[in-house]
Structures are given as C-alpha cells and as structure tokens.
Structure 1
Amino acid sequence: MPIPLFNSIASWLLKKRYHQIELFLKYPADVQNEVLHQLISFSEDTALGKTHDFESISGYEEFAQRVPIVNYEEIADTIELMRKGHQNLLWPTHIKWFAKSSGTTNAKSKFIPVSTEALEDCHYKSSKDLLCLYLNNNEDSQLFKGKSLRLGGSKELYEENGSVFGDLSAILIDNMPLWAEFSSTPSNKVSLMGEWETKLTAIIEESIQENVTSLAGVPSWMLVLLNEVLETTGKNHLFEVWENLEVYFHGGVSFAPYKEQYQKLLPRNRFNYYEIYNASEGFFGIQDRNNADDLLLMLDYGIFYEFIPMDSYGKDTQKAIPLWEVETGVNYAMVITTNAGLWRYKIGDTVRFTSTNPYRIRITGRTKHHINAFGEELIIENAEEALKKICKKTDAEIMDYTAAPIFMNGSEKGGHEWIIEFRKPPEDIDYFTEFLDNALKSLNSDYEAKRYNNITLKMPKVHVARKNLFHDWLKSKDKLGGQHKIPRLSNERGCLEELLKMNQN
C-alpha cells in the first residue's frame, strides 16, 4: 500500500474512534458498569466464577461483597498453575502469554497473564487511541509521513510448558499488527535483542536512516538513547537528525526530573510531549490535551476500576470505592478487574483525580514506594516536584536517584538518605541538600512537622553517585533496558546500601 494512502486511511480510522471515546466521556458510570457486567458474565464458568457464583451477581455491590481484593502473592499459585497449562481458572479463553515483571520493590518475578482480549481490546486499542487523541488535537500533524522510534524492553521471549513469558513490550512486539510494525523503527529483530548495549548500537544504526516523526519509551532510557544518537551523529540537537520529529510519547516514570534535559535536546517550542499510563496489567490512561499534566482515564478497555483512599490503605477500615464515588484531590490506591483474569487486583500504583468530568488523573507513586518510617508519608510526587524545583534553581540535571530512611539509633535521630547521579551536578551539594529539604517541607506538611526543630528527622544526607552507578547496578541484576526502573523511594535500605557500596568501587 502506498504510504500516502496508508496515512490517509489510518488517520480516518483513528479520528473515527474519537466518537466512541466521547461515549464514555458522556456516560462514564454506565460504561464502567457495562464493562463489569461483561467481565462477570464472560467468566461465569471459570473456577473463580463458580467459587463466587458469578452467575447470580446482579451488580457492583454484590461483586464487591463476594470477591476479595488481592495482591499478586495471593494469586501467585493460581497463576503458576496457568503457566503450567491449566486453563479456565481466572479467565475463560486460553492464556498463552505472561508478562514477566520483577516489579520495583523486590526481586521476585511476577507473571502477569495476558489474554488475547487484553492484547486486542486494551494494549493495541490504546496505541490507536493515543494516536487518535493526538491527531484530534493536532490536525496539521505529519506523524504518518514518518516512523515512530519505539524503545521497549530488552528481553527476548521464553517458552515453558506451552506458555510464553517475557517483557510486556516483547509480547506486544511479537504480536504486533502489521500496521504498527510498518510504521515503527527499529525492526522487530532489533527491538527484541536481549543485550542492552548491543541493542542500543543497533537501534541507532537503523533509526538514524529513517524519517522519525515520534518517539515512544521510558524517559530515563530514552534519554540515554538520544544522547548516544547525538554523540554518534555529531549533531547539536535532535532536529538536525530528524527534522520532522514532532512528539514524544512517554510513560513508566515521572517526566518531571527529565523535562529540561529533553527541551535542550529538542529546542523547538511547538514540539509536543504526551504522557501515557500503562503497565504489564493493562493500559489505563492517556494525555488527551496538548500541554496538559494529567491523563484521561480510559474506561472501555475491558478494565473495571476501583480505588482505595490511601489514608485507610492496609488498615482494617480499608474500603474500595467505584469510579463514580471518587473525589478530586484524594490520593488513591488503584484496584483493577481486567479482561486477562485479574479480579480486584491491587496494582500497587497511587493516583489522584484532577477532574471527575471527565475522569482525569495524575500518577502520584506506588503504594510501596514511599518513605514513612517516622510518619512523614513522603511520596514520589513530593520527591519529583522537589527535585524539579531544585534543579531549576541550581541549574543541575539529574539522571537517577533513590532514597531511604536513616533509622534512629539510640539517641541518634532519624533522617532520609539520598544517592543521586547527576548529568550536570550542582556547584554546591550542601546548598542543594538544604534546598531539597526546604522544598520537601513546602510540599509535605507531615515531613515539615517531623523536621520542625529536628524533633524527629535531621537534615537529609545526599551522596553524589559516580558516573554510570545506576546503570551498573541494573546491569548487575540483569535489568538493563527500556522497561526497568530504579526504585525511587523505599522504607527499606537494601537497594540504597547496595548502591552506596558500589559507589565506593
């Protein structure tokens, strides 16, 4: 098919989808109730459906009373049976694919089931919707005249007992529809390479020959790739390599610490940044407006949403609520029921609604990714905003960081200990530390209260990481590549201690 004709048809189809999106914008509760009804009805004859008598469930309240909220550990044994070939346990259709994820809080692997329905009605549908929303907002876009440079995971797929597992990105690439492969770079062969450094070179060799109009990937790893592109080509900025580049679709980690670095690589005011919210468990949100800082929650992907207010999370008073009961400004843990057989599953992410008409969210962090050793309730959202402020103030640039508590020892007060790898370090690390402390106080009243007159917490301790420390740490754990992330905040010191030890070598 000639490229102009392909572009014309693709653009027409994507814009047509916008009318369907308008349906759940107008009737969000009806659409979510219909999703739940379909999931329950479709799964009546599964082992789980029979255990909880899905056939007699008449609505959300009954569903919430009968089906318990679970985390991965509570369904791990069932998923292991599914990986060994047992079917019809959590979902009625055959599940062959499992997205392997180590998570970001421990080393134990998770194997998230990926059904055909999830691939088609969630993951691939979301890719089309991302383009649909972007084109709807940018009618003069030339996106389809070039290719998308995608940066996914760096692990190949493995087969075991008839099931296949690997990074979600590898599963998506392996099942990718022809239209998506046709419009992407690098080739599938390069995208599925297992060794990160070799893959990086191959991506650059293929992509600099293409007319790249968009970028897609995790900000931290994409930044590494783009800097390598400039070093390889000897160009000053990316528009000298790809003059028609117009948008970067990013997700996976907060963009805030990286935005100024990207603006230096992409010095064009009309360049667009679009955030997405996806995970091994599903695709949840898409930025639906230019220059917005929140995401439209996508309600017709075969995912039913519930939310637990974080002030009751993990307590006896914990109670999940449906979408139509949420309020703006409250920090919630997200619970999902999906068309891949996850039922009332705690995904581990926290969000805050910025709007309920339509339902838009900001990702605020992880339920386990916070520091609350002293009642300070420091979340990733606080950390990212504080670092963004201080980088602007000190003209510093951050590559990676992590932080953990300094636990009280006798009369010694507690505190927070940070290790930060800078692309461009501040001139005075003591000033940087003081500004970080003040910024966190201004953003988090609990932290401020614990820091008042050093009552509970003393001044934070900040270590400057040697070059490539976090890269070397990830490499030591075989976690190099586009989908792996650094644990930013933790109540445990394990990760921090390993990094501090490596920093001395």
Structure 2
Amino acid sequence: MALPIINSIATWILKKRIHQIELFIKYPNEVQEELLFNLLKTAENTVVGKEHEFSSIKNYKTFSERVPVSTYEELAPMIKQTRKGAQNVFWPTNIKWFAKSSGTTNAKSKFIPVSNEALEGCHYKASKDLLCLYLNNNENSQMFVGKSLRLGGSKQMYENNNTFFGDLSAILIDNMPVWAEFSSTPSSRVSLMSDWETKLPAIINETINENVTSLAGVPSWMLVLLNKALEETGKENMLEIWPNAEVYFHGGVNFEPYKEQYKKLFPKDNFKYYEIYNASEGFFGIQDLNNSSELLLMLDYGIFYEFIPMDTFGTKNQKVIPLSEVELFKNYAIVITTNSGLWRYLIGDTIRFTSLSPHRIMVTGRTKHHINVFGEELMVENTDKAIAVTCAAFNCEVIDYTVAPIFMEGKEKGAHEWIIEFKKKPEDIEKFSILLDNTLQELNSDYEAKRSNNITLNPLRINIASEGLFYNWLKNQNKLGGQNKVPRLSNERNYLESILATQEHLT
C-alpha cells in the first residue's frame, strides 16, 4: 500500500481518536465512573457478581466497601477453575487466553485472564493509540514505509481444555489481524518460538534484510538482540543495518540505565524513544509527547483505577482512593478493576502522578521490589536513575543489577549490597561506589538520613558480576527472553544469594 494512502487512513483514525482522548482528559472522573458501572452491569450475573451483589451497587462507596482488594494468590482458585474450562466465574464471556507473568514477584508464575474485550478494547486499542499519538507528534514520519520489529514471547497449550497461556506479547501476536503480519517482522512463526537461544538467530536471520523503521520490546532483551545483530554483521551501529529506523517503543523496565547504550546503537539526533506501560493485566499508559518520560494514563481501556498511598500500604491504616483524590508526586500502589474480570486487583506496581490535568504518571517500581528494611524507602526509580548518572560520569555501561540489604548483626550496622554486570567497567570501582552512594542520597532523602554519618547504614557494597551472569541466572530459572526481567530490589537476600551462587558455580 502506498505511503500517502496509509498516512491518510492513519490521519483519519488519529483525528477521531484524538477527540476521544481529549474527552477523557477533560472529564477523567466521569469517564472512570461510567466505566466502573458498565463493568459491574456486564458482570452482575457471574459467580463473583452474584456473590457481591453487583446489581445493587449504585456508587463508588458501596463498591469499595463490598468488593475487597485482592492479590493474585486470593484470586488464583477462581482463575484455576477457568483455566480448566469453567466460565462465567468472574467475567461473562468465555476466556481462553491466560497471560503468564514473568514471576519476578513470586517463585510461581501467575496466569492472568485475558478476555476478548480486553484484547480488542484495551491491548489492540492501545497499540493503535500509540501509533496515533506518535504520528500526531511526528507528521513527517516514514514509519509506515517499512516494518516494525517486534520482540515477543512464546505460546504454549495448557492441558486439553482449549485454554492457552503464554507471554502477553505472544498472545497479542497470535491473535492480531492478518494485515498486521505484513507490517511486522519477524514472522509469527519465529516470534512465537519458545526457546530464546533458538529464537535469537532466527529473528536476526528474518529481519536483517528487512526495511525496519520501528522497534518494540523490553530494553534489556532488545539490547541482547541488537548487539548480536552487530556481531553477526560486523556493522558499527544499527543504522548501518536499518538506515530508516526512526523510533523505538519500549516498556517493561526503566529505560534510564540503557538509554546511552541505545544512543550509540542509533546515532542520529532525531531518533525517537516512546515509552509504554503495559502488563499482563492491561495496558495503562502511553508517552504522548516527544522527548518526555511521562505517560498519559489511558482512562477508557476498560480499566477502573484506584490507588493506595505507599505511606499507608500494608498497614492497618491503609486506604484506597479513586482517581479523583490522587495528589501530585506521591507514590501509589495501583489497584485495577478490568474487562477481564479482575476486581480490585492489586497489580504490584507503584507510580506517581506528575500532572493531574491531564493525568500523567511515571512508574516508580514494584510494591515488593523496594528496600525499606531500615526506613530508607529506596525505590527502583531511585536506583535506576543513580546507575544512569554514575555510569555517565565514569563512561561505563551496565547490563543488569540487583540490590539487597545487609542486615544488622550485633553492633554491625546495616548496608545495601549490589551486584552489577558491566558491559564496560569503570576504571575505579571504589570511586564509582562512592558516587553511586552519594547520588542515591541526593535522589532519596530517607536514604540520605539513614546514611548521614553512617548513623544506620554503612556505605553500599558492590560485587562485580562475571560476564553473562544475569543471562545464565535467568536461563537457570527458565526465564530467558520475552517479558522476563531481573528483580532490581528486594527486602530479602534470596535473589542476591541465588545470583551470587550462580557466579560461584560459573567460576
């Protein structure tokens, strides 16, 4: 299809959709309230709907009192029923797809239900919105001339109940319309391969001669792919392979620690980076401005949002508030009610609002992936930023890292222990450690208070990981590729000890 025709169609869709986006920006609370009652009405005759008497809920207050906030563990029995073929349990239409989570918050994987309504009204709608918003900000884009390189997960069949599970990206690839196959690379066959080490060369083989104009995937795994492509071709940067590449759509992990590496891979000033915020449970936010790190919270994707202030999270004073009550720059845990039948589900992510008109957010971490053993309230957002700043100062590059507490023992004070795998190491690791520690103090006043005069915390300690350590650790966990990622922070030492044990075994 000729570019002018594609652009004309895209522009038509854009104008129509921009108007709808402007509506939820102008009337966010009204849109959210209407959405909630539509969800309740739709599911009132399900098992869950009858149990909580959805049909008689007339306001948010009743909804919040009658329906409890739930974790995955609490919903798991109902999800297991549905995976075995039961229907109309928590959502009225048949659910046959389950997005398998990466399992970083728990040793066991989660299987998140994905309804047809969520596929069409959330995930695919968001994919179109992403392109619309990008085109709206970049009218001279030539993206549609070439193909989009997608880096997805695998699909597997579960038992014999005609239900399927796999990475969310794989579910989306497997269900997307036929026409989308022609604008994407690699083929669905390769995209859905389950073995990462077989898939990687297959992706390179299929994409290396394509006119790739955009890329989409998790930054850490995309880096592995791109570096392997350079190794295979002997090229200096990715623009020598794909000269028309203009944008990378990324999500899944904070982009900050990887940004400088990507700038070297795509060395042109007008190359764009667009962030998205999606998960197995839904698609939540899209970067709507060029050169921004903020995400527009999408309020009409069949998801009703609530928030728990992190200063009360997990305490007897915990409170849950709707969108209308959020404040700027406070950390919140997200609670969602969705068109896949997740009712007041605690997703496990934390965000903060950077704007209330429109509602723009930044992802700050995970409810279980922070360190607060000593009252330091260290978030992933802090450590990712500190790593990026310190690496820039020392002209070094990081592949991955994780951090855990060193617990107080006797008169010995506590500390934080890091293990970092460098692509390019700093010349002086001691000076690197000092700057990293000082930067964390600048970014986080609670950490600074605990570090002041070593009152509670001693200086951080750094272990340098051997080459390929995190890759091998993930491989041992059967978590290569797709949406899998290394947990950055933990209040326990389990992850760190496991990674250190892997290093000892490898050496």
Partner of residue 492, structure 1? 492
Q: 1:126: how far off?
A: 0.3
Instruction: Provide the rounded CA distance (Å) in 2 between the counterparts of 1:168 and 1:248.
Output: 19
Partner of residue 362, structure 1? 362
Partner of residue 306, structure 1? 306
User: Are 1:17 and 2:24 an aligned pair?
Assistant: no
Q: Secondary structure at the match of 2:404?
A: strand
Instruction: Provide the rounded CA distance (Å) in 1 between the counterparts of 2:98 and 2:105.
Output: 20
- 1:249-328 pair list within 5 angstroms: 249-328=249-328
Q: Secondary structure at the match of 1:332?
A: strand
User: Which deviates more, 365-374 or 152-161?
Assistant: 152-161
Instruction: Provide the rounded CA distance (Å) in 1 between the counterparts of 2:102 and 2:174.
Output: 21
- 1:333-348 pair list within 5 angstroms: 333-348=333-348
Q: Secondary structure at the match of 1:13?
A: helix
The answer to whether the Cα contact below 8 Å between 1:441 and 1:447 also exists between their aligned partners in 2 is: yes
The residue identity in structure 2 corresponding to 1:277 is: Y
Q: 1:8: how far off?
A: 3.7
Q: Structure 1 pair 320/82, CA: closer, same or farther in 2 (3 Å)?
A: same
Partner of residue 416, structure 1? 416
Q: Secondary structure at the match of 1:378?
A: coil
Q: Secondary structure at the match of 2:485?
A: coil
The answer to whether the Cα contact below 8 Å between 2:70 and 2:345 also exists between their aligned partners in 1 is: yes
User: Are 1:41 and 2:74 an aligned pair?
Assistant: no
The answer to whether the Cα contact below 8 Å between 1:413 and 1:458 also exists between their aligned partners in 2 is: yes
Partner of residue 135, structure 1? 135
Instruction: Provide the rounded CA distance (Å) in 1 between the counterparts of 2:160 and 2:431.
Output: 54
The answer to whether the Cα contact below 8 Å between 1:276 and 1:295 also exists between their aligned partners in 2 is: yes
- 1:21-420 pair list within 5 angstroms: 21-420=21-420
Instruction: Provide the rounded CA distance (Å) in 1 between the counterparts of 2:140 and 2:385.
Output: 33
The answer to whether the Cα contact below 8 Å between 1:417 and 1:461 also exists between their aligned partners in 2 is: yes
Q: 1:180: how far off?
A: 2.2
The answer to whether the Cα contact below 8 Å between 1:156 and 1:170 also exists between their aligned partners in 2 is: no
Q: 1:6: how far off?
A: 4.4
The residue identity in structure 1 corresponding to 2:304 is: F
Partner of residue 447, structure 2? 447
State the Cα deviation string for residues 239-269 of structure 1 (Å, max 9, x = none).
1111111100000000000000000111111
Instruction: Provide the rounded CA distance (Å) in 2 between the counterparts of 1:382 and 1:10.
Output: 38
Q: Secondary structure at the match of 1:362?
A: strand
Q: Secondary structure at the match of 1:463?
A: strand
Instruction: Provide the rounded CA distance (Å) in 1 between the counterparts of 2:14 and 2:473.
Output: 41
Q: Secondary structure at the match of 1:92?
A: coil
State the Cα deviation string for residues 245-303 of structure 1 (Å, max 9, x = none).
11000000000000000001111111100000000000000000000110000000000
Instruction: Provide the rounded CA distance (Å) in 1 between the counterparts of 2:472 and 2:241.
Output: 29
Q: 1:177: how far off?
A: 1.5
TM-score by length of 1: 0.98
State the Cα deviation string for residues 192-218 of structure 1 (Å, max 9, x = none).
011111111011111111110001000
Could you list the structure 1 runs, at least 4 aligned residues long, displaced by more than 6 angstroms after superposition: none
TM-score by length of 2: 0.98
Instruction: Provide the rounded CA distance (Å) in 2 between the counterparts of 1:437 and 1:497.
Output: 22
The answer to whether the Cα contact below 8 Å between 1:329 and 1:352 also exists between their aligned partners in 2 is: yes
Instruction: Provide the rounded CA distance (Å) in 2 between the counterparts of 1:249 and 1:292.
Output: 13
The answer to whether the Cα contact below 8 Å between 1:4 and 1:145 also exists between their aligned partners in 2 is: no
Instruction: Provide the rounded CA distance (Å) in 1 between the counterparts of 2:195 and 2:11.
Output: 36
The answer to whether the Cα contact below 8 Å between 1:154 and 1:480 also exists between their aligned partners in 2 is: no
State the Cα deviation string for residues 314-333 of structure 1 (Å, max 9, x = none).
11111111111111111000
The residue identity in structure 2 corresponding to 1:243 is: P
The residue identity in structure 2 corresponding to 1:468 is: G
Instruction: Provide the rounded CA distance (Å) in 1 between the counterparts of 2:308 and 2:76.
Output: 22
Instruction: Provide the rounded CA distance (Å) in 1 between the counterparts of 2:102 and 2:218.
Output: 17
Instruction: Provide the rounded CA distance (Å) in 2 between the counterparts of 1:39 and 1:462.
Output: 49
Q: Structure 1 pair 128/350, CA: closer, same or farther in 2 (3 Å)?
A: same
The residue identity in structure 1 corresponding to 2:342 is: L
The answer to whether the Cα contact below 8 Å between 2:10 and 2:132 also exists between their aligned partners in 1 is: no
Q: Secondary structure at the match of 2:355?
A: strand
Q: 1:66: how far off?
A: 0.7
State the Cα deviation string for residues 435-475 of structure 1 (Å, max 9, x = none).
11111111111111111222211111101101100000000
State the Cα deviation string for residues 99-139 of structure 1 (Å, max 9, x = none).
11143122111110000000000000000000000001011
The answer to whether the Cα contact below 8 Å between 1:40 and 1:54 also exists between their aligned partners in 2 is: yes
Q: 1:11: how far off?
A: 4.3
Instruction: Provide the rounded CA distance (Å) in 2 between the counterparts of 1:482 and 1:45.
Output: 36
Q: 1:501: how far off?
A: 1.6
Q: Tell me, which stretches of 5 or more residues in structure 1 are unaligned?
A: none
Q: Secondary structure at the match of 2:164?
A: strand
The residue identity in structure 1 corresponding to 2:377 is: E
The residue identity in structure 2 corresponding to 1:366 is: R
Q: Tell me, which stretches of 5 or more residues in structure 2 are unaligned?
A: none
User: Which deviates more, 368-377 or 5-14?
Assistant: 5-14
The residue identity in structure 2 corresponding to 1:91 is: W
The residue identity in structure 2 corresponding to 1:369 is: H
The residue identity in structure 1 corresponding to 2:204 is: I
The residue identity in structure 2 corresponding to 1:27 is: Y
Instruction: Provide the rounded CA distance (Å) in 2 between the counterparts of 1:113 and 1:154.
Output: 16
Instruction: Provide the rounded CA distance (Å) in 2 between the counterparts of 1:118 and 1:221.
Output: 26
Alignment RMSD = 1.3
The answer to whether the Cα contact below 8 Å between 2:158 and 2:165 also exists between their aligned partners in 1 is: yes
Q: 1:52: how far off?
A: 1.1
Instruction: Provide the rounded CA distance (Å) in 1 between the counterparts of 2:350 and 2:215.
Output: 26
The answer to whether the Cα contact below 8 Å between 2:414 and 2:456 also exists between their aligned partners in 1 is: yes
Instruction: Provide the rounded CA distance (Å) in 2 between the counterparts of 1:111 and 1:105.
Output: 13
State the Cα deviation string for residues 412-457 of structure 1 (Å, max 9, x = none).
2111100000010100111111111111111111111111222211
Instruction: Provide the rounded CA distance (Å) in 1 between the counterparts of 2:15 and 2:208.
Output: 30
Identity of aligned residues (%): 68
Q: 1:3: how far off?
A: 6.5
User: Which deviates more, 19-28 or 349-358?
Assistant: 19-28
The residue identity in structure 2 corresponding to 1:322 is: P
- The aligned length equals 505
Q: Structure 1 pair 172/445, CA: closer, same or farther in 2 (3 Å)?
A: same
Partner of residue 483, structure 2? 483
User: Which deviates more, 34-43 or 449-458?
Assistant: 449-458
The residue identity in structure 2 corresponding to 1:498 is: S
Instruction: Provide the rounded CA distance (Å) in 1 between the counterparts of 2:14 and 2:151.
Output: 23
User: Which deviates more, 487-496 or 14-23?
Assistant: 14-23
The residue identity in structure 1 corresponding to 2:408 is: M
Instruction: Provide the rounded CA distance (Å) in 2 between the counterparts of 1:492 and 1:88.
Output: 39
The residue identity in structure 2 corresponding to 1:482 is: G
